[in-house]
């Protein structure tokens, strides 16, 4: 990667981290509570390496066919890989084997397959259950009424580590409207913590709404466009 491209990557990363820190201060929170997940779908390994060289270690991928070669190419480095795409039951085995986190568990069958397929020598797979806050047919997610049984199933599986909840809310432009959705997930999270007090993760917020998410308690922020620019054509 050219020096100019590396400089641009550094500028984008620092801009995102500054936005996150500013939002944390507005919320009276410690910026150290936040983890940036660089959403690297459609991006080649060289683009990820530019961020790795700048200290970024968490990467989120949506498509297995595209993700696995990058995971293999970057394997010598200590990275945390997050699967954040909709998960089909016939693709759970490579997610269980190659990823450190999965954010999109939304039904019991996925819990069962991920638990059975996680390699015995690997640490427990970090799991966030995806919550659907609005009926959008193109998005996955469990309903609030389905959550207790799903969370119990994850918590009982020794191969899995229940971390928290994730959502992809409807697109909004006004911060007050964005905050409404994230506040709804935070309230659900707090309710579920009564039965699962060890849950510590709210995966919410992207390039256009990270401030609203942080103001409402997000701990994992999934950023793609603000780090990498407009999405390239997917290889999936």
Give residue limits of the domains in the chain: 3-227
Asked if 153 and 111 touch (Cβ cutoff 8 Å), the reply is: yes
Span of 58-62, 138-142, 156-160, 219-223 with lowest mean pLDDT: 138-142
Q: Which of 54, 81, 143, 71 is nearest to 107 (CA)?
A: 143
Domain 3-227, CATH 3.20.20.10 — does that match? yes
Radius of gyration over every alpha carbon of the chain, rounded to an integer in angstroms: 17
* Strands 160-166 vs 58-61: parallel, antiparallel or unpaired: unpaired
- What pLDDT, on a 0 to 100 scale, did the predictor assign at position 1? 65
Q: Model confidence over 17-55: pLDDT tens digits?
A: 999 999 999 999 999 999 999 999 999 999 999 999 999
- What pLDDT, on a 0 to 100 scale, did the predictor assign at position 236? 44
Asked if 57 and 80 touch (Cβ cutoff 8 Å), the reply is: yes
Mean pLDDT of 165-172: 94
Q: Model confidence over 112-139: pLDDT tens digits?
A: 999 999 999 999 999 999 999 888 888 8
Question: Model-level pTM greater than 0.85?
Answer: yes
Q: Model confidence over 84-109: pLDDT tens digits?
A: 999 999 999 999 999 999 999 999 99
Q: Model confidence over 139-164: pLDDT tens digits?
A: 899 999 999 999 999 999 999 999 99
């Amino acid at each position: 990667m050219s020096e100019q491209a590396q400089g641009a990557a550094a500028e984008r990363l620092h801009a995102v981290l500054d936005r996150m820190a500013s939002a944390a201060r507005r919320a009276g929170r410690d910026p150290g509570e936040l983890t940036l997940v660089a959403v690297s779908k459609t991006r080649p390994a060289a683009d990820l390496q530019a961020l790795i060289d700048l200290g970024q270690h968490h990467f989120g991928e949506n498509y297995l066919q595209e993700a696995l070669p990058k995971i293999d190419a970057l394997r010598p480095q200590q990275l945390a890989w997050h699967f954040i795409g909709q998960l089909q039951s016939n693709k759970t085995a490579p997610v269980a084997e190659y990823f450190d986190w999965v954010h999109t568990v939304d039904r019991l069958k996925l819990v069962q397959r991920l638990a059975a397929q996680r390699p015995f020598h690997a640490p427990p797979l970090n799991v966030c259950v995806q919550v659907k806050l609005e009926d959008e047919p193109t998005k996955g997610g469990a309903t609030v009424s389905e959550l207790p049984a799903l969370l119990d199933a994850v918590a009982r599986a020794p191969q899995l580590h229940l971390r928290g909840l994730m959502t992809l809310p409807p697109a909004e432009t006004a911060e007050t409207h964005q905050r409404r959705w994230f506040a709804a997930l935070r309230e659900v999270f707090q309710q579920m913590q009564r039965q699962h007090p060890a849950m510590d993760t709210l995966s919410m917020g992207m390039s256009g709404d990270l401030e609203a998410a942080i103001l409402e308690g997000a701990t994992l922020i999934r950023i793609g466009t603000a780090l990498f620019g407009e999405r390239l054509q997917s290889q999936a």
